[in-house]
Amino acid sequence: MTVIVIMKTHLTRHRSRLWLRGLICLLAVTGLAGCEQPKAPGGGKDKPVHLVEVAPVVSDNLSVVRTRAGTLRAQREVRVYTQEEGRITALPVYEGDKVAEGDLLVRLDNTLIKAQLARASATRKQAAQDARRLKELRGSKLVSEDEYARARTALEVAEADEQVLKTRLGYTIISSPISGVVSVRLSEPGNIAGRHQHLLTVSDPSSLVTELPVSELILPDLSLGDVARVRIDALGDRVFDGRITRIYPSLDPVTRRGTIEVEIKPVPAGAAPGQLCRVELSTRAALRQVIPFAALRRDADSEYVYVLDDENRAQRVAVVSGLRLAERIEIREGLEDGQQVVTKGFLGLAPGKQVKPVERHTP
């Protein structure tokens, strides 16, 4: 349709505006008429096609890889406490000092205990003499059995008192229980140490461990001795070999996670207790049924997917999911290999709706 407009120069400004408005309306009507939807053979419009993207259900041998963060600590770390009270007369080690098992760590003033021990020793000697004398007299029937028994009891009590003081005297000298490095020093010579006071900590630097929380879904696939890859943030991108040395038997009832211990041995140069590490755990490969993670739907009560039937109608199917594997997720119940599940096009999708599947784009 062609519209010819002849504008005369003597038209007033007001009439020109009216003419332009009319032209705009005419062009709009003409454009709308040219964009009418094609009509279906009965005079109605075609129903819009619901496009969905689908992917097949497949089974494959897959291993699970998970990375967990932890904190390094010495596998053996001993806190040294006093068992006697007294003034500290010697504390020769400092933080960072290496010590061997049996080396002197702390000495306490033992003057009073030595005096008590000397008294107990004298009492024990006297009790021993009395017991021997009464034993000889008993042979001559000059003392009763009861009198001799009391002498034997007194001797045994004196011997026990002497042994107690010998033990207490030994507590005034504290030796290192392990070979390692002094990591904590909490007092100084001349201070009065109370009973059961923490004075030192000795760590064994020959191996480092970290404890990691692990999902209950992964724990059955882990075993003692499995290799783990360890990165220590302070040491850059280098990867060190670790091994699972302990799997704790109980799980947290709230998080459903267990705990494992991973050991790094030998300890790399620069590694130290307290550093942040990242441990990569890899389970043994197992046959797992998987679908794209985008296909899994959840509501308040269950998990489900939309599966296409033979007539390309979407059907809701309840499933039980397992581990997430990158962009895929394991399905433990509900599906069969080869079924087509919907991964995109959920808006307006309902059970029984006719859809048109398109190929799933894989980058």
Kindly indicate whether the domain formed by 66-75+207-284 is annotated with CATH number 1.10.238.10: no
Q: Give φ, ψ of 178 to 5 degrees.
A: -140, 165
Which residues on neighbouring strands pair with residue 87, listed in sequence order? Answer: 192
> In CATH, what class is 110-171?
mainly alpha
Could you give the 3-state DSSP secondary structure of residue 121?
A: helix
Q: What is the rounded CA–CA span in Å between residue 340 and residue 312?
A: 10
Output the pTM of the full model. Answer: 0.61
Encoded amino acid at 334, one letter: G
pLDDT of 88:
96
CB 328 within 8 A of CB 290: yes
Six token digits for residue 343: 């991964």
User: How, if at all, do strands 314-325 and 303-308 pair?
Assistant: antiparallel
| Cβ count within 10 A of residue 25 | 10
The ranges assigned to domains in the chain are 52-62+287-358, 66-75+207-284, 110-171
Contacts of 96 (CB under 8 A, 6+ apart): 181, 182
CA atoms of 72 and 282, how far apart (whole Å): 20
pLDDT in tens, the chain (363 residues): 333 333 333 434 445 555 555 555 444 433 333 333 444 444 455 667 899 999 999 998 887 788 899 999 998 999 999 999 999 999 999 999 999 999 999 999 999 999 999 999 999 999 999 998 888 888 777 778 888 889 999 999 999 999 999 999 999 999 999 999 999 999 999 999 999 999 999 999 888 999 999 988 888 888 899 889 999 999 998 999 999 999 999 999 999 899 999 999 889 999 999 999 999 988 777 788 999 999 999 988 789 999 999 899 999 999 999 888 878 898 999 999 999 999 999 998 999 999 999 866 554
> Other C-beta atoms within 10 Å of 76: how many?
16
Q: Which CATH architecture is the domain 52-62+287-358 placed in? A: Beta Barrel (2.40)
* Residue 10: predicted pLDDT: 40
Contact 60, 269 (CB under 8 A): no
Quote the distance between the C-alpha of residue 8 and its chain's center: 87
Calculate the dihedral angle through the C-alpha atoms of 296, 300, 301, 306, rounding to the nearest 10 degrees.
Answer: -30
Q: What separation, in Å, do the N-terminal and C-terminal C-alpha atoms of the chain show?
A: 48
